[in-house]
Amino acid sequence: MIRFESWTDFDYPIYEVCLEDAAYFAEGDADVARPILSGRIALHEMPKELRDDSLKIKERTEWLRAKAEEFHEQRLALLKRRGISK
């Protein structure tokens, strides 16, 4: 279950994913679960074969980590463009 929180014209949408769903996809890894729970990782973008195949745990976790890093880098770039970060 996903709950929409808010949207602004200069930021990303804020929504929350069900804890059970995040825990399933993250395989208990808090560093992966947090960005899922906060909506920083869009689970709908995950390749279907990673969502549906419980044997592809390593590949799914790698995909999630890459998406979390991608989001982090985008946020840093945005802050830099706004002169808030070096």
6 beta partners: 14
15 lies in a domain? Answer: yes
Q: How many domains does the chain have?
A: 1
**Cα(19)–Cα(67) distance, integer angstroms:** 18
Domain membership of residue 86 (yes or no) is: no
Task: Note the pLDDT tens digit of each residue in 20-32.
Answer: 778 888 888 888 8
pLDDT of residue 4: 54
For residue 63, pLDDT over 90 is answered with yes
CB 60 within 8 A of CB 66: no
* Whether pLDDT at 7 is above 80: no
Task: Report whether pLDDT(14) > 90.
Answer: no
Residue 44 lies in a domain: yes
- Asked, for residue 55, whether it belongs to a domain, the answer is yes
Answer whether residue 17 is part of any domain.
Answer: yes
pTM: 0.67
Domain of 18 in residue numbering reads as 2-81
Rounded mean pLDDT, 62-69: 91
Identify whether 52 is part of a domain.
Answer: yes
Angle, helices 57-81/30-37, rounded to nearest 10 degrees:
60
